[in-house]
Amino acid sequence: MDKRSIGVKGATLNVTSQGAGPAVLLVHGFPFDHRMWDSLSSYLATKYRIITPDLRGFGESTATEGIVTMEQMADDLYAVLHAMDVREPIVLCGLSMGGYVALQFVKKYADRLRGLILCDTRTGTDPPQVKENRNLLANSITEDTRAALAEGMIPKLFSRRSLSDSAESIDFVRRMIVTQSPAGIAAASRGMALREDTTDLLPSLPCPSLVIVGQEDVPSPPEEMRSMADKLPKSQFIAIGDAGHMTPLEKPDVFNSAIETFLGMLPT
């Protein structure tokens, strides 16, 4: 396992990598960090070089006050690849906010990709009420209110089955949320509120893609993700039963093997 701090414009990112082989970059959701990929990373590291950054403002990366856009985070990833001397095209995988960032990466750096995996994410913009809630959160989050944020989010993140049977995963997510920097949560929340619609990017994606979602995902409904997959030229769509928004944690066996199969089918 290699862990390093990489300087990007105005921030320092914590980036972990393990394994050797074709590079796969895993981008976490909000408000989490690279640890949400632990199971997938160790599963794939026997065949691939798995790179898991903490996005700006999350995990052990430094936060930027104000607004951090999805485009800024995509630029950060591009800079990370450069700093790590990853020159060959990569597979990029993002969950939810990580997917918003991945789509901005597609917009600017599609030639750096050999595959794209979109997990539990969306291409549409937020309705006005959601935007307002994001700005309210950004203006009110403190160290003391992170626990309440976690409690409010958890019922929307997990399937009914996970909520009753997966206390360990739920506790893991709760602990991840309460350790995130309030400034990081605020800046990303404002950045998500500002994000643009990326649906038009889908038909011209030059590489194969996998679209994967929990059948009970509330923030990124399966029907919306199926419609994304339908617009992508070389896509596969998988909906995982008894999973909500946190598919890699709720159904790691099914999730990990779906990703492994997709990676195995990509042209080298």
Residue with Cβ nearer ligand MLT (96 or 181): 96
Q: Token digits for 201?
A: 């990017």
Other Cβ atoms closer than 10 A to 39: 16
- Quote the least distance from Cβ 96 to ligand MLT, whole Å: 3
User: Taking CB under 6 A as the rule, does residue 117 contact ligand MLT?
Assistant: no
Does 48 help bind ligand MLT (rule: CB under 6 A)? no
Strand 90-95 to 113-119 pairing: parallel
**Least separation in angstroms between CB 249 and ligand MLT:** 11
Q: Verify binding: residue 192, ligand MLT, rule CB under 6 A.
A: yes
DSSP one-letter string for 132-163: HHHHHHHHH--GGGHHHHHHHHHHHHS-HHHH
Tokens 């769509």, residue located:
237
Handedness of CA 63, 68, 71, 72 (dihedral sign): negative
125 vs 256 by CB, closer to ligand MLT: 125
255 binds ligand MLT (CB under 6 A): no
Comparison of 30 and 43: residue with beta carbon closer to ligand MLT: 30
Q: Is 97 in the site for ligand MLT (CB under 6 A)?
A: yes
73 Cβ neighbours under 8 A, 6+ residues apart: 55, 56, 101, 104, 188, 191
- Omega of the bond prior to 233 within 30 degrees of 0, cis? no
* Closer by beta carbon to ligand MLT, 29 or else 184: 29
Nearest approach, Cβ of 111 to ligand MLT (angstroms)?
26
Return the closest-CA partner of residue 89 out of 18, 23, 41: 23
Total number of residues that touch ligand MLT (CB under 6 A): 7
Is 96 among the residues that bind ligand MLT (CB under 6 A)? Answer: yes
Alpha carbon distance, N-terminus to C-terminus of the chain: 24
Question: Between 22 and 184, whose beta carbon lies closer to ligand MLT?
Answer: 184
Q: Which is nearer to ligand MLT, 13 or 84 (CB)?
A: 13
Nearest Cα neighbor of 225 from 238, 242, 234, 207 is 238
CB of 21 to ligand MLT, least distance (A): 27
In this complex, which beta carbon is closest to ligand MLT, that of residue 75 or of residue 217?
A: 217
Q: How far is the CB of 105 from ligand MLT (least distance, A)?
A: 15
Q: Quick one: tokens of 22?
A: 């074709």
Q: For residue 238, give the H/E element and its range.
A: strand 235-240
Question: Does the footprint of ligand MLT cover residue 30 (CB under 6 A)?
Answer: yes
Q: Which residues 120-159 are close enough to bind ligand MLT by CB under 6 A?
A: none
Of the residues 208, 219, 222, 244, which one makes contact with ligand MLT according to CB under 6 A:
219
User: By the criterion CB under 6 A, which residues form the site for ligand MLT?
Assistant: 29-30, 96-97, 192, 219, 245
